[in-house]
Amino acid sequence: MPLTKIAEFDVKKLEILSPEGKADEKLMPRLSKKDIAEMYRLMVLSRAFDEKAIALQRQGRLGTYVPQLGQEASIIGPAYALSKKDWLVPSFRETGAMIAHGCSVEMMMRYWAGDERGSLMPKGARVLPVAIPVSTQLPHAAGIAWGMKKLKERSAVMAYFGDGGTSPGDFHEAMNLAGVFRLPVVFVCQNNHYAISLPVERQTASKTIAQKAIGYGIQGVQVDGNDIFAAYSAAKKALEDAKNGIPTLIECLTYRMGDHTTSDDSKRYRDEKEVKEWAKKDPVARLEKYMADRKMLNAALKEKIIKKCRAIIEKAVGDVESSPPDAEDIFRYTYAEMDESLKEQAEGFRRRV
């Protein structure tokens, strides 16, 4: 039997803001100067959170932490497109997105400190807790979207995951469910080129992550994930489409500048030249260039914003460390109500302490 050549899929890539800070005005989304300034502030806040969290972890004051460095645009851009009625379903690298969608800096610091209260969502905030197991949050996102569709609620769900998250069955099940039932959901894949130490070419044989959408009958788009305008614009359109029954998979091409987590050493599997090349595409630096060209940012204002963000982080750390968790919370927050088994475990714990 003769072999048939497999067609190559055409995937569009959206790019608006170049590494030099020059924007394609024809593609620019509708954003006010206030919006752009807030996007920048959230990116700087995310970077300041990283800086402090890593220092705390090295000092033994915080548990394992997952840095966002280098991926701020692909995290903040899509999250900024959400409305208050939309749901955010994060994985484990979306601290900035969770803050942007209603979670406090203190709450997120509590989470990384191992305090169960760090997973108690603020009243009215449509955000699920951090999901550490890879891709298990994706069926949850599809389920929420299905529920909203049945309730005829005009809102959407945005779920984040990494390129490594496309291997587990949960990813395929969620995508299939979204396609079959035309669910109001947007899948945001942060393709940072490494699933921990595994390079993306060993992770998938497809030319892009975005083209995986084709097999499930949903939209697929690739964006420059270090371009916050492209990430925001693609997400804004995808959220509107989702509310009209058209799900989308967005692949954000980005790069993890730091280690996978604070327990990783990326120097063991990455070439330093590669890291330096990606540093030239820094998402924060390119937005700063854009804003400086338009007289929206100067050295003094930049320093003021950085200091203010660091002060917010320091206050959160002080609040967290001055109010340590109750060790019994590990039993209280396993389920909505403690079952007999958990009550027995809690009692045993009390006797030991």
Q: Which helix (H) or strand (E) holds 161?
A: strand 157-162
Give 3's pLDDT tier (boundaries 50, 70, 90): low
Dihedrals phi, psi of 158, to nearest 5 degrees: -120, 125
Contacts of 112 (CB under 8 A, 6+ apart): 53, 62, 63, 65, 95, 118
Dihedrals phi, psi of 212, to nearest 5 degrees: -65, -25
More confident residue, 266 or 330: 266
Percent of the chain with pLDDT over 90: 93
More confident residue, 331 or 2: 331
> How open is the CA angle 123-54-128, to the nearest 5 degrees?
25
- 219 and 213 Cβ atoms separated by less than 8 Å: yes
Distance CA 307, CA 285 (A): 17
- 43 and 227 Cβ atoms separated by less than 8 Å: no
Q: What is the pLDDT of residues 289-304, one digit of tens each?
A: 999 999 999 999 999 9
Dihedrals phi, psi of 141, to nearest 5 degrees: -60, -45
Q: What is the pLDDT of residues 303-344, one digit of tens each?
A: 999 999 999 999 999 999 999 999 899 899 889 899 999 999
Burial of 201 (0-12, 13-18, 19+ CB in 10 A): exposed
Domain spans of the chain, in order of start: 13-322
Q: What is the pLDDT of residues 235-250, one digit of tens each?
A: 999 999 999 999 999 9
What is the pLDDT averaged over residues 215-220? 96
Any idea which residues carry the catalytic annotation? 256, 260, 269
Q: What is the pLDDT of residues 46-95, one digit of tens each?
A: 999 999 999 999 999 999 999 999 999 999 999 999 999 999 999 999 99
CB atoms within 10 A of CB 95: 26
Q: How is domain 13-322 classified at the architecture level of CATH?
A: 3-Layer(aba) Sandwich (3.40)
> How open is the CA angle 170-180-210, to the nearest 5 degrees?
60
pLDDT at 9: 66
Distance CA 211, CA 173 (A): 16
> How open is the CA angle 57-61-66, to the nearest 5 degrees?
30
